Structure 1
Amino acid sequence: MKRPALITLLVLLFFSFGSITNGSNEISEEELERWFNSDSLEPPRYKEVNEGSLVFLTHQPGKKLHHHHNTVTILPNSLNDGWILIEQCHTNIDKVSAAQILFKAGKVKNIKVISSKNIEKTWVEGASVQMENIKANAVLCVQANTRSFKQLADGTYSLRNGPFMRRFLDGYFPLHVSLDLNYAQTNLELIDILPATQSGFEVTRMDGFVKIDTIFEGRLHTEFHFKQKNL
C-alpha cells in the first residue's frame, strides 16, 4: 500500500516573530517520489533540514517553487469587529497524494474553494481545505474571512499573519509568498511593517496599498501596524 504524504501549506496564527539564520535545503523530486511509492516508514534522507528558522533566499532555487499569492482587504467594519477578507491562490503545489491548507480554528469563517486545477478532489473540512491526488501544475484558489485585525492598547491597529510555511515531515522547504494588502476603504495610515525590508523580502508601499514579495525557508510571520489618519 502506498503511504499518503501530507504537506502543510499554510497556517494563519497569531504573530510570533521567528529568528533569522543562513542556510538552504532541498530534497530531490526523485527521492520524494521513491518514498511516496514505497512502504517504508523511514523518511527520505536529505542533506540539511531547516527546522523552522526563517531564512530569506536572495536567489530562486532552480526549479519552479510553490507560489502562494494573497490578496488581503481591510474592510471599513474591520476596525470594529476585526474580520478581514482574504483571497489566496496556490500554484506549483507539490505533486503529492494529499495536502492541506490550515487556518486558525475560531479565527476563520466562510472558507470557500473558488477554483482548482489538476487536483482530483478538494473540500473544506473545519478550519482547513483538504486536497487529494495533486497532479503537476496544480492550482488552488480559496477565499475566507479571518479575524486577525486588532486594536492595540495605545489606539493603533495591528494585522498579524502567519506562519506561512511549506512543511514536509520535520523539514521546511523554499516557498514563494506574495501579498497584496488593500486598506484603501479605511482611514488608516500604515506606520510600520515587520519584517523590515531586506534582501529577499521586498516591500512596495502605495497610498492605501502595500505589496510584499519574498522567497524563504522556515516559518514567516508578518505584521502591519496602522494608525487612524487625523480628520
Structure 2
Amino acid sequence: MFKMFFDWAERHGHAPHTLFEGMKVKKDKASESERKPFKPDQARLIYTELTENPSGLVRKDSHKWGMLLGMFTGARLNEICQLDIADVKQDGDTWFLNITDEGDDTKNVKSKAGRRKVPLHSELIRLGFLDFVESRRNGSRLFPDYSYSANGGYGRNLGRWCNESFLPKLGIKQPGLVFHSLRHTVVTRPGQANVPEPIIQCIVGHARSGVTQEVYLREGYTLEQLNDAIGRFKI
C-alpha cells in the first residue's frame, strides 16, 4: 500500500523519489508449532489420566485441578494458577470462577475482556472440585504451590510440567500441542456444537466486536446463558 502511494507521489511530482522500491512484505508461513486443539481421543486420554491416574503421572492435586480447569473452562494458564479461593463463587445454583486482577498486585488479566465470570462445568463439580476448594480454606490462594515470577506470572511450573513431562509421557506431545491447546479445544468444540461465537468469546475472555455486541449487547450474556454453553462441551 505504501509503495503504491509513493509511486503515485513520485509520478506526480509530490516526492523526489519513490520509497519502498524492491521491498516486499514477507508472507506468513504455516508454522508447525502453531498451537492447535487436542483431538477428541487425545482429550479423552488426558481426562482419563487426570481423573483415574492409571500411569501414575499425576502426583499433585494442583497439577490435576489446574489441568482440569484448563480443560473445562478454557482459561489461560496464568489466570488459573493465580486464582484465590475467594475467586470460586456461587450465584444461585451456579458456581463460577471470578477471573479478575483484583485483590493482589501480582494478579493480572490480559485485557478488559479477560475480567469475566466462567461457570464451572458440571463435570468439575461431579469430580469433586468444590471439595478440593474447601480443603484449601486455611489459605488464600487456590494453588499456593505455584510461585510468582515477574516474567511468567504464576503459571510457569504448571506449564512446564504439562509441556515437558505430562504430555510427552502420555505419548501425545507434538508441535503445537501444549497447555494452551486446552484453551483452543474449549473454543473449538462448543463452536462445533453450535454455541454462538460471541458467547464463546465471553467464556474465554476475548473481546466481542461489532455494533450489536459492543453497543446493543454491552452488558454481555447472563451467567445462565454461559452455563448452558459450557454444558455443551463434552470430552
Larger radius of gyration: 2
Same fold, TM-score > 0.5, yes or no: no
Answer 1 or 2: which has greater helix percent: 2
Q: TM-score range by the shorter chain?
A: under 0.3
Answer 1 or 2: which has greater strand percent: 1
TM-score (norm 2): 0.24
TM-score (norm 1): 0.24
